[in-house]
Structures are given as C-alpha cells and as structure tokens.
Amino acid sequence: MKFSFKNDYSEGCHHNILKALAEHNLDQQAGYGEDRYSLEAKALIKEKTGSPDSDVYFVSGGTQANLIVISSVLRPYQCAVSASTGHILNNETGAIEAMGHKILSIEKADGKLTPEDIIPVLENHKNIPHQVMPKLVYISNSTELGTIYILKELQELSTFCKEKGLYLFMDGARMGHGLTSEISDLTLEKVAELTDVFYLGGTKNGALIGEAIIINNKELQKDFAFNIKQKGALLAKGRLLGIQFLELMKNDLYFDLAKHANSQAMKMKNAMKERGVQFLSDTYTNQIFPILSHDLIEKLSEKFEFYVWKKIDEHFSAVRLITSWNTDDEAVNSFIEIINKEL
C-alpha cells in the first residue's frame, strides 16, 4: 500500500468526531441545524472569532460554500475578482458562472491579491452600464499554492475593499493550516474583523464533511438562510455537521490538527532544501511544491501518491505534496529516506 500525499482528505475523520457521532446517534434532536450540537458549535465559533454578532451556517463542502456565498451576495450584473489560481476559477466546474456571475481573473504567481492588483480591474470596468460591475474580492487562506496572508496584507486589502465598496470573501478550506503556519501573525479574530464573509474548512482538516460559513457583514446576513435552503444545502439532519464542528472547536482541536499537518510538510520541505531542491513557491503550510527530476518522481511514485503539478522542462517538473492531520512519521520518514538516498 502506498502512502498518499495527494490531498488532505484521504482519511475519514478524527476519532473524536467518529466517537461523538456514535455517542449521540440515537439522541432525538430538532432538524435543519436547530439541534443542540449545531447551536453549541455556532456559539463556540462566535466565541473563538470574537464576533458575537456574526451569523454562522454549516454546509457540506467548499464548492457549495463558495457558490452559495457568491451567488447570494452579488446582484445579477455584478462579478467576482479572483487570483488566476483561485479555486472558483479552476476547480468548481464553472459553478459561479453557472449562477450568472463572471469571474475576473488576475494573474498572480503566489496566488495572493493586493490592492495594486485590483486597481487596474476597477479602472477597466468603468463603462457603465455596459460592463459587469466588480463587487466581490475572492481570496483564499491558505491559497491554492500553499501561501498565506499575513496581518498587514489582509489589513491593506480590507481597507481598500471598504474604500471601493467591495465585499471581501475569504475561502477558508485550509484556514486552519493558514493560521497555524510558522510565519503567520494572523488570528481567527482578525479574519472575522477584516472580512465580510469567510468560512472554516472542516473537510480538509479532520471532519468527514463540512464547512462553517461566518457572515460578519450585517448587510449580507439578511435572508441568507433562504439561499442555503434554495441551493439544497440545508441538511435535515444538521446534527451531522454540528457535532463535527463542536468537536473540532473544542480545546482547539481544529488548530492542533492543522498544525500537525503543517509540521509534517515542513519536515519534508527542510529535508529537500538541505539536498538543494528548489521549490515552485516558498510555502509554510501543508502544501509544498518541490521541483524534482523526472527520474526521482518516478522513483517516489513507487511508494507515494502525489500530483505532478507543472512541467518545468524536459528533465524536471514541480510536484504537489499535501500532508494531512493524520500524516504519520512513518510516511514522512520514508519519503525523507528516499530523498537522502537519491540526492
């Protein structure tokens, strides 16, 4: 059996969650997220974000979260702005466009947006009413390339969006990994303060399924529940999501799991750097993108599963390695052993 570094959702879920689901299986509770577990989980999330006036909704996955948020926030003539690497552009089968909203793409090698990146987009969309109106800025933390926003960067982006009347939406599918990165000075409280909407990803950090959408902007809270229902995301057995997030938020399990995944990735990164390996981007989360020879990639493929991300030339390609909350030392040490032997 091969070790998998393909993604951070290969396993089922953390044993605390499985235990809690079993323990409360026969409890009779209200449906549609009104069960006591969901209500307790929402209260705990508000406490940890330091934002008691935020609204919290649970949905099953990241694409669903992005689609519901963006389609509910934007009017028919408005559009989203995203880095070219954004998940909504490359990995959601045109879900946003299918709802009638254009996505304006900005080429960014590191996957992050700055005010300077967005200004030309606004300047090029002043032919009113003949062009779509940029209204929402979509960012991810950590990004699809494993990079993160530091506090100063998010503050600048938040201030810019407020000045320009833009909503700031943070995709948090890997929020735990972004916030627990060794170079991060961003906190959950600051994310809630500086964004209009964001979500905490559970699927990629120890849950079976589930993301928690947190709406901080009161203007966007109104009638949001109707969008959840209309898009088929309101689970009758909402306890399935509530129990999971209650367990993840307890005793900061959510952050401990993400920190473990980051730590395992950094062990592999540092071992390769010591052997002179170059990287596509300098990341400090659970996603790393080493540039390896095709011969070494073939050798590693005998024991590990991972994606070949980008061909560099006829001899080298960048691969993507992702560690999870459950990646153990055996897998990491085995990988490092081959690196040390072959390089």
pLDDT given at position 271? 98
Which pLDDT tens digit goes with each residue over 118-128?
999 999 999 99
Amino acid (1-letter code) at residue 24:
H
The tokens for 153 are: 């960067």
pLDDT given at position 115? 98
pLDDT given at position 1? 77
Q: Quick check: helix, strand or coil at residue 273?
A: helix
Q: Compute the radius of gyration of the chain from its Cα atoms.
A: 20
- Secondary element (H or E) of residue 128: none
Q: Quick check: helix, strand or coil at residue 244?
A: helix
The tokens for 325 are: 């909350």
Closest CA to 266 of 341, 321, 310: 321
* Residue 125 burial (C-beta neighbours within 10 Å; 0-12, 13-18, 19+): middle
pLDDT given at position 7? 95
Amino acid (1-letter code) at residue 249:
M
Distance CA(96)–CA(155), nearest Å, equals 26
In the predicted model, residues of the chain with pLDDT beneath 50 are none
Distance CA(27)–CA(219), nearest Å, equals 36
Distance CA(237)–CA(225), nearest Å, equals 16
Distance CA(3)–CA(315), nearest Å, equals 25
- Secondary element (H or E) of residue 232: none
Going along the chain, which residue ranges are E strands? 3-4, 55-59, 78-83, 103-106, 133-140, 167-171, 197-201, 211-215, 278-279, 287-288, 290-293, 304-305, 307-311, 316-322
Angle 115-123/151-164 helices, nearest 10 degrees? 20
Distance CA(243)–CA(255), nearest Å, equals 17
Q: Are strands 55-59 and 211-215 parallel, antiparallel or unpaired?
A: antiparallel
Which pLDDT tens digit goes with each residue over 264-289?
999 999 999 999 999 999 999 999 99
Question: What distances in angstroms separate CA 181 from CA 49, 142, 321, 333, one per listed residue?
Answer: 18, 9, 16, 21
